[in-house]
Structure 1
């Protein structure tokens, strides 16, 4: 796992971080990891499966449509490309 050093943090920010960590029963370091994770990987990010399901609902895709797509799909493996 990577390590990071943050320099020149103002005293008031450091104090606020420690107070926030105490409220959450964590160390200041654990609190900083939680803050970074929340900022970089928000819980509201779009999940690909959810986005595709929503798209299917918007265009009115039905189970019958999916069955037709499955039946039309070829099961023959693709031939590898040859480069000469």
Structure 2
């Protein structure tokens, strides 16, 4: 097993981590490892695909068409005179 060293670790962060470890009845190092395990387990291996995520989100709604929004001509650009 390897060791890691985290330099310039914020005291506030260390205190919050210690409180969390105390709450769960763990040592500080055990709590840090548990947090890392949980976060890395949830991290997707594949890169995020926004279109795929949107498709999954609305897939259970079935097939439907989004109505086209009528477009209007653009206004004339302003003319700045000196």
TM score, norm. by length of structure 1: 0.48
Larger RCO, structures 1/2 (Cα 8 Å, 6+ apart):
2
TM score, norm. by length of structure 2: 0.50
Q: Which protein has the larger Cα radius of gyration, Structure 1 or Structure 2?
A: 2
